[in-house]
Chain A
Amino acid sequence: MALDIYKINPEFRDIMPQEIIDLEEKATWSVNRDTPRGIKELPDTKELLEEHSLCAGCPEAAALRYVLSALPKPEDTIIVNSTGCTSLMFPHIALHTVHSLFGNQNAVASGIKRVLDWRFPDIEKDVVVLAGDGATVDIGLDYTLQSFFRQENITTICFDNEVYANTGGQESGATAKGQVFKMAPLGKKFDKVPMWELATTSGCHYSVNMTASAPKAVAKAVREAILVAREIGPTFLNIYTPCILEIGLSANEGLGEMKDQDKDRFASYKYVSPEAEEFLKKCKEEGRI
């Protein structure tokens, strides 16, 4: 597969906004490269159109850029997303993405991955799920866990903002106990679902809980999780991307909120299975991470 499949139709080039041209020329799969560039080049590159539909300052937008910059093989990566704020970003990137329904992301991804392995046995194709906490922990929990049980070779990333943001701020399974949100007028009744622990016990070979405060740490986790999923089995990342709108922060306060949470609900958790650990050591020796 050639990187230049992402090129703009030449007939439309002269009417394209500059930021779309930038997306082609300065994105993850930028031309004249054998390997994708990494997180360090983020300031000079572009993965996501500025005209996306998220709120100004929403940490999801920054976190998505970190994720995209860390894909080991973007030209052969498919992202499966789910209904919610996260899904609003995907029409504004230059990558194959699928939005099907709310909650079925890991099932759709399973079908895609199995067929890509069948159709292209000699090409590494990565399938990455990226969805909100409502999609992952509530409506789609069954499909998420079952894909772990079945040992699907996919990476699941949850952008955990601890709320149903897109529908206007209802509590989700990931909301902290006691938090008052719409549909939980007396405060949420049960503890935050430790999805990263469920992932570990359900068969993931790599499971992480973190915030999106440190781009390098996010990029490393994404790169490792995708490589492990490709070779060994399912992997999971839970990344705090606060909904600044619903918790009443202004556009420049997302980063501070994430930093605060680095020591609290999102204190670092990392599980790596022995097989995955060995594999990652090998990847390091080979310079793949």
Chain B
Amino acid sequence: MSKRSDMTNTHNWSGQKLVSTDYLLFEAPREKHFMTGSEVLKEAMKRCTVDASVSYPITPQSEAAHLIGELWAEGYVGTYFRGENEFGVMSEVAGCAMAGARTVTTTSGPGTLRAMENFPQWSGTRIPCQLVLMARGINSPLTIQPDNLEVSFMLETGCMIWYAENVQELFDMSIAAFTVAEKPDVHVPIITVVDGFFVSHTREAVMLPADDIALEPYDPYRAPLPPIDSETPPGRFLRDPFVMKSNYISYATHASWQWEVRSAVERSRPYAEHYLKGLIHITGEEDAEIAFVTCGTASNQAKEAHRELMKLGIKTKVIKLRTIRPFPAKELLAAVEGIKHIFVPEFNVVGWLEKEVRKELYNKCEADIVGGPRVAGGMSMPAEAIIAEVMEKINPGKGA
């Protein structure tokens, strides 16, 4: 088993050379591999000098959690165990992170909801842990199909939320995620989302740097709140009034804390901008009058529709949102300039992304916003469905 005390100034406890995030993400030479999303998450965590991970099985993230366990057995992760259920796991993650560990966990669908009370607690205690959420449908009726309805429940937890489109993005994003979450002026939890199955179980070509390099370790003493390790003064002693006491100060304390958590999420923008190379990615025609605003694998399907529509002489562009919290409002507004029709294809029934887009563009943009196409319950979203939606709009009654 690895020992933290084996770490040196240049190497982590498993003997990997410590490098900067910039080097790991942008400069280190890369080689091509062929991997699933679960496998690539193991590769990412292998290069992250992870202190702690707690897991619980649920399809489709179980394999990713198994593989992080293997990493621990191989000596790359400090401590790892299976918790009793997701509420327990997210609580154990909280304990690990409060005690000063770089901590990661994974879950899906129902696990997310079972653990729900923990997420605002994570952000409220300003721990920079990472949840890799491999989104899946919510019961009832029982389902293990892909769906991303659960993300709508996560939006107001005070955590950052990023969304990866494919296996490659999952790799890069989950490394950048720790780096941004741990910035002292950010220091809030981060949820990196992929569409379960479509990414977790799909094998794709991916470019990976060598595995003998890894991120610098997390330094809890740079955190805005003291770690709970008895090495620094207790957080509350002689400082904060306990917010449960009913007086004006306690109301103000709690209110300002909620704003502060949200401000911390906002302060992540420049870092995310750098490590993700932009909060949004645009593909397609610059002079298009039709835009698709997407995240996750819906982006992929929208790009396919864009290529088909090009053949029909219809110009479109795909605006892929990579961060959902913070929401890239300014970037989106700039990207929809001159656009007449906005479509928001989504893998869920409520259309949470459409709501986000409408809220941000309200009174700021003339474009007509169509919340669709929308699929749910695990159904795939063929490019034809997106094309049909566009044709119905620009050529009513004539079909695709």
Contacts and interface: CB of A to CB of B under 8 A. Distances in A.
A1 interface: yes
B99 A112 contact: yes
Residue of B94, B99, B238 with most partner-chain A CB within 10 A: B99
B93 interface: yes
Interface string A78-102: 1010000001101111111110110
23 contacts: A1-B230, A5-B232, A6-B233, A8-B238, A78-B99, A78-B229, A92-B242, A93-B237, A95-B237, A97-B234, A98-B95, A98-B228, A100-B94, A100-B121, A104-B94, A107-B88, A111-B97, A112-B95, A112-B99, A114-B79, A118-B51, A119-B229, A146-B83
Interface string B199-230: 00000000000000000000000000000111
Interface of B: 3-5, 51-52, 54, 78-79, 81, 83-85, 87-89, 91-101, 103, 117-118, 121, 125, 228-238, 240-242, 244-245
Interface residues of A, number: 49
A108 B103 CA distance: 13
Contacts of A93: 237
Residue of B87, B95, B233, B237 with most partner-chain A CB within 10 A: B95
B230 A114 contact: no
Contact of B229 (A101, A107, A125): A125
B242 A91 contact: yes
B98 A114 contact: no
A75 interface: yes
B95 A111 contact: yes
A120 B3 contact: no
Contacts of A87: 244
Contact of B84 (A9, A122, A142): A142
Given A78-B99, A107-B88, 11 more contacts: A53-B242, A94-B234, A96-B228, A104-B87, A110-B92, A111-B99, A115-B101, A116-B229, A118-B78, A119-B99, A142-B88
A120 B229 contact: yes
A53 B245 contact: yes
A115 B95 contact: yes
A112 B238 contact: no
A17 to B, nearest CB: 10
Interface string A127-146: 00000000000000011001
A111 B85 CA distance: 14
B237 A115 contact: no
Contacts of B79: 114-115, 117-118
B51 A109 contact: no
Given A94-B237, A115-B51, A146 B88 contact: yes
Contacts of A75: 230
Contacts of B5: 121-122
A216 to B, nearest CB: 27
Residue of B78, B93, B103, B242 with most partner-chain A CB within 10 A: B242
Given A16-B238, A78-B228, A114-B81, A98 B88 contact: no
A93 B88 CA distance: 27
Contacts of B3: 121
